[in-house]
Structure 1
Amino acid sequence: MNVIEDNSCALVPPCFFIEDESFQDSLDLYQRGYLHPVAISDIIRPDPSTSASRSQDAPSGYRILHKLGEGGEATVWLAQEVDRLDRAVALKIFSAHCSSAAEHEARALKACMASQNVLSLLDDFTFTGPNGAHKVHITEVIMPLKKLYSLLPACAKKQVATDLARGLAHVHRCGFIHGDIHIGNIGCAMPPAFTENTIALTMSLLDRYDATMVILRDPALRSCSLPPYLLDPCDILRVYRYYRGLKARQDAKLLDFGNARRVGEEDADVVRWMCPPPEAAFAYYGCGGLEILPTTKGDIWCLGALMLRLFTNEAILYDSTSIILIQQAELEGVIPPAWRAFWDRNEILRSNTDQVTPEKAEAGWSRRRDQFLQKNPEVDLAEADLLIALMRRMLATNPDVRPSIDEVLAHPWFAEDKANWS
């Protein structure tokens, strides 16, 4: 289980300025075999030798307009088709060392594209830059839920949860496992006005570029592997607000399928978790670094953790030590029997044994319910109790007792007559 970004590449030479680590990618990732250096107005075109399978109607290239996001595996950009200048898209450039994740994602998105609650893959190709060959995915532009959910009323959050459950049900019915559902891998479709208006209007709302210039102290060391500057992601929420996205229905979608597998598929690729389910966390920490593949039951736990974040703002954070097992066990109030021997040998876990009791778990869930009701007085107690009961089932430590996604959708909380909270 690999839950930490790969920062093993060598450090770049000293620069005059240091990147803003809160919003900008690490400059250390810009070298051979890693991220592609991007500048605004660059045009990304597919390598002719690798584009034979693309449709003849596919765009010849895409111009970079602004930055949407980044990570250790990819950077994501707002772009426009060079053959249709009125069409804005999201362009994701995978790191050269992450071609396998790109292939996982493309395969899953193509298989699951019939659902409106799964990100639409519009185009994919390979191009070569100074740091190697990079997979590129072109998708619709999405408003990240991470930046949006705190602004939504309870009724909109319920619709988001419903959309995500439906999207995951479609993924599972197509024979796939998402493998890494968390708040950063979810988004909402941009409002219709985003596509109806000109790119010029959208860009007028994104007229600010927060950049850190990449200027090496020794000019003789300048490398084409490095970008001319590092950018903060643009304020896409400003665009979403302007086009009245907060007043529209939130159409939620599952994103980032780099961890996706076919059900039952044995795959030797590294599994990269942001928030591993208990069985994966224990396998890694309690069994000497053992990695287990994603499962549909793991998807259910991750969706439950996402719903916990969505409705209570409580995040189950990844911790680089076995401490994560404490937080997971506290939700149920029981240390699983399979964990006991390792738990008793581990000083940190053993010293927190008194935190894991059924009584404290009940008190914790009661507190979450009361906080949710306090922040959302329009929701009645019976409805809140249904939500808490559903999340507790989804967050069971034992994967065998978690519901399937169809059972989740059949839960009374998702009942048709309760689809909207007024």
Structure 2
Amino acid sequence: MFQLCRTNIPVLSYRCVRHCSTPTIAQTRYRYPSLDDVENLENYRPGGFHPVSIGDLFAGGRYKVLHKLGNGGSSTVWLAQDQHRREQLRSLVTLKVMSAEESSKDLAGKIAAKYTPQEVNKFSGSLNHPGKNLLVIMDHFLHQGPNGYHLCLISPFAGPSMAESPGRVSGSKRLRGDLARKVTKQLAAAVELLHSARVIHGDLTPSNVLCQVSDAAHKYDVYQTFGNPETEEVVTIDDSPPGPHAPSQIVAPIDFSRLSHSLLKEDIFLIDFGQSFFADRPPPDNIPATPLQYLSPEAFFDLKLSFASDVWALACTIFEIRAGSPLFDPFFSSGTVILKQVVETLGRFPDPRWSAWEERLVWFDEAGAPKPDDEEEEEETLLPAVQSSLHHKLSEIGEQDDAPHAYEGKMIEEVGTHLDEAEVNLLADLLEKMLRYNPQDRISMSEVVQHPWFAYNNDSGPCLH
């Protein structure tokens, strides 16, 4: 999960930067909170987020809010307890509260989209292919508040995402090798199932891959496990009362690093079908909402999402889960810098895309090779281009590991562990086939799940033939 710098300078989204000729910026009303990873307070307005507080009840008192799980561009997400199942296992649930604006857009279609995993599961029965790694929606309802009507979605409680802990705080910042291969195989199988049902996910990132939790996690006291919710008063710029449209306090998300690894299953859920669609029914004027570092070239340049763009995004996600760091570093949040890293790693774009990308001239010659050092120094080029490759990046895994703050648990790879040459060759082969520039040249998901890298083990792993 990425956060914006703490500043009152408005930040334009990728969508506005690339597609809005005269973007409008709402006037700032609230002081930026000091808490990390919280939602933009300016979204608390008519049509925006619903103000949720700890202890609030939803659906006629059935769901009680216990803690905060996170937020997205169009929703806040909460840990709640199903009061109807309070004495049973699995009474903890995830409550996603959509903004009023999002809830008003094609409500029937939006609910149908959220039920995509159930529809796919019905299809999977005929394939003998269970969709156990797709997170299903258990319940949905509308909730009226001061900012409008909000679609609320109930799903099983799950653990941290692959973009968070376990494994992203200190130490090696990655899952141990056999577990990384296991969960990415589950993820690939889930995507294959979607594609078999003619569904394009549209937003494959590590943030949308969650660890499953064991039944035992439901037995523990939430506040003993995660601590009491950390809150901060909502303050306006002019010190006027926030009013009914905003909560009185902002709540920090749960610190999943406090959740014992013994309560996490070595299995994953694929979540968030808000950008998903059936291949024969693409939404009109669809604009990719995926972070730039997971976008395929055709999604970036042409706004085209397809089965092949899912394959590209999955390749980036597989690399990140295995390496503990992104394939293309989003630190500067610049599409141009992401494209520079893509060319450094995969080579020159085909024409006419290469000639259309004018910024290439800053770093590369016409063959796609980085400019010589003396030429870049003479031109005072920022962030000089450095030629790399998938093989090189995989070989570097383990070299930049930090010393862990504490024991990271059995799920995490030991600091300084490198991939052996056999695994590097296997994974580089898989990723190269998934990251081909021409969408038609990328392998299909049925080919991805059959790749020998997933079956590799350090003792007697399979080899490429």
Q: So what's the TM-score if we normalise by structure 2?
A: 0.75
After the TM superposition, which of the residue ranges 324-333 and 294-303 deviates more from structure 2? 324-333
Structure 2 unmatched ranges of 5 or more: 1-12, 18-22, 122-129, 168-172, 372-384, 400-414
**What do the CA deviations read for 1:287-316 (whole angstroms, capped 9, x no partner)?**
xxxx33x21100000000111212222342
Whole-Å separation in 1 of the counterparts to 2:426 and 2:74: 38
Contact 1:393–1:403 under 8 Å retained in 2:
yes
Aligned pairs (5 A) from 1:373-388: 377=417, 379-388=419-428
* CA offset digits 1:269-304 (Å, max 9, x no partner): 543222321111122xxxxxxx33x21100000000
Matched letter for residue 94 of structure 1 = M
For the Cα contact (< 8 Å) 1:109–1:120, is it kept in 2? yes
User: What residue in structure 2 maps to residue 326 of structure 1?
Assistant: 340
Residue matched to 1:204: 224
Aligned match of 1:349: 360
**Secondary structure at 1:259's aligned position in 2?**
coil
1:281 aligns with 2:281: no
2:391 and 2:425 in contact (8 A); partners too: no
Work out the CA distance in 2 between the residues paired with 1:142 and 1:116: 13
Match of 1:57 in 2: none
Q: CA deviation at 1:61?
A: 2.3
2:63 and 2:80 in contact (8 A); partners too: yes
Residue 47 of structure 2 contacts residue 101 of structure 2 at CA under 8 Å; is this kept in 1?
yes
Q: Which amino acid aligns with 2:93?
A: V
Where structure 1 has 5 or more consecutive residues not aligned to the other structure, the ranges are: 47-59, 284-290
1:390 aligns with 2:401: no
- Corresponding residue of 1:192: 215
Q: Deviations over 1:133-189 (max 9, x none)?
A: 111111111221212242521111111111100111111112211001011111110
Check whether the contact 1:157–1:311 (CA below 8 A) recurs between aligned residues.
yes
Q: 1:77-97 CA distances to partner (integer Å, 9 max, x unpaired)?
A: 000012222410010011112
1:368 partner amino acid: K
For 1:300, which of 279, 286, 311 is the aligned residue? 311
* Aligned match of 2:380: none
**1:248-259 alignment runs, 5 A limit:** 249-259=265-275
Q: How does 1:229-240 map to 2 (within 5 A)?
A: 229-240=249-260
Does the C-alpha gap of structure 1 residues 163 and 303 become closer, same or farther in structure 2, counting only changes over 3 Å? same
Superposition map of 1:11-90 within 5 A = 11=27, 13-14=29-30, 18-20=32-34, 22-45=36-59, 61-86=62-87, 87-90=91-94
Where does residue 369 of structure 1 map in the other structure?
394
* CA distance in 2: counterparts of 1:110 and 1:116, whole angstroms: 10
SS of match in other structure, 2:163: helix
- Tell me if 1:412 matches 2:428: no
How large is the RMSD of aligned CA atoms in angstroms?
3.0
CA 332–37 in structure 1, closer or farther in 2 if over 3 Å, else same: same
Q: CA deviation at 1:390?
A: 0.5
2:53–2:247: 8 Å Cα contact kept in structure 1?
yes
Residues 121-270 of structure 1 correspond to what in structure 2 (within 5 A)?
A: 121-143=137-159, 144-147=161-164, 148-149=166-167, 150-195=173-218, 197-198=219-220, 201-216=221-236, 221-241=241-261, 243-245=262-264, 249-268=265-284, 269-270=286-287
**What is the distance in 1 between the residues matched to 2:148 and 2:176?**
45
Distance 1:386 1:297, change over 3 A: same
State the shift of 1:67 in Å: 0.2
For residues 144 and 228 of structure 2, the distance between their equivalents in structure 1, rounded to whole angstroms, comes to 29
What are the residue-to-residue correspondences of 1:309-324 with 2, within 5 Å?
309-312=320-323, 313-317=325-329, 319-324=333-338
Partner amino acid, structure 2, of 1:370: S
Q: CA deviation at 1:32?
A: 0.4
Closer/same/farther in 2, CA of residues 261 and 14 from structure 1, 3 Å limit: closer
Q: Judge conservation of contact 2:395–2:419 (CA < 8 Å) in 1.
A: no
Of the structure 1 ranges 214-223 and 228-237, higher mean CA displacement relative to structure 2 is found in: 214-223
Q: Deviations over 1:359-380 (max 9, x none)?
A: 9998433321322376674753
3-state SS, counterpart of residue 117 of structure 1:
coil
Kindly state the Cα deviation for residue 4 of structure 1 after the two structures are TM-superposed.
4.8
Which AA in structure 2 matches 1:206? F
- Find out whether 1:110 has 2:118 as its counterpart: yes
Residue identity in the other structure for 2:326: E
Matched letter for residue 441 of structure 2: V
The alignment partner of 1:187 has SS state of: strand
Q: Does 1:336 align with 2:353?
A: no
Matched with 1:98 is 102
My pick for the range that moved more, 34-43 or 371-380, is 371-380
